[in-house]
Amino acid sequence: MRQLQFSQYAAPCVAAYSGNNGGSNGVRGITGDTITIAVRATSDASGPNAQALDKLNQQAGNPSNAEQRQILDALVPYFNKNFELFGRQVKLVDFNGQGNGTSEAQSQGQDAACADADAIASSVKAFGVIELPASNSMYVSQPFAECAKRYGLYLPLGAPYFPELWYQRWDPYVWAGTHLSASASPTTWPNTSASAWPTAPPSGRATRPTRWRTASSPPTSPTTTATSAA
């Protein structure tokens, strides 16, 4: 099957997949041919704050926001070619939201964020959501992550730097490569009761359902097929 064989993180090789992938398997945003991912732009994505951050980012030697979007568009065909999606291709769909990115960065504006999540789920009918690339990030906000759980939207880049307990609450929809351990101080998270925090980190890493399993046949459902360390 297709995978990045040169990576030490690649799963063991298995036979190439062939056969019926099950079509949508009853999952919104999935067909026999496509996986629809919405690219959400907040209402202030081109506002003064975004422009100021874009300028600082470029001064630091990083690509502009426009260039980052070009990079994303170039990487999607590479992803489709090199990863086993059981006959499907990832398709990006732009979505202009009413949520305000500056407010959401301060854990505010959840009503507008949820209106966006509702529209993406009901109108765009996407399987998942990423944020419009800006300042080297496609991570969505904490308010939108709350809404994604409510509307069943997969977030591969969920709200960054939140405690592991928050991702457990958002499970299985919200994922992130950046989070705080369970032993992080609760005093920095005003909406979390200190009594809810363990006195020590868990002995093992949390497991969550994976969306796609590395096996010779497709999952019966793209959302619940196997578990892996997160």
136 domain-assigned: yes
The ranges of the chain with pLDDT < 50 are 183-230
What is this structure's pTM?
Answer: 0.75
> 15 lies in a domain?
no
Specify if 26 maps to a domain: no
In a domain, 28, yes or no: no
Q: Is residue 63 assigned to a domain?
A: yes
Q: Which of 220, 225, 227 is nearest to 21 (CA)?
A: 220
> What's the confidence (pLDDT) of residue 179?
62
The first and second tokens of residue 103, run together, are 């407010």
CA distance 172 to 169: 8
Task: Look at strands 207-210 and 226-229 and give their pairing.
Answer: antiparallel
DSSP-based three-state secondary structure for 92: strand
Amino acid present at 223: T
Give the tens place of pLDDT for each residue, 178-220. Answer: 766 554 444 443 343 333 333 333 333 323 333 332 223 333 3
4 is a domain residue: no
Helix, strand, coil percent values for the chain (each to nearest 5): 30, 15, 50
Residue 64's domain spans which residues? Answer: 34-229
Residue 74 covered by a domain: yes
**156 assigned to some structural domain:** yes
Helix 110-119 and helix 142-151, axial crossing angle in degrees, nearest 10:
40
In single-letter form, the type of residue at position 130 comes to I
pLDDT score recorded for residue 180: 63
Q: Considering its fold, how many domains does the chain have in total? A: 1
**Residue-level pLDDT at 177:** 75
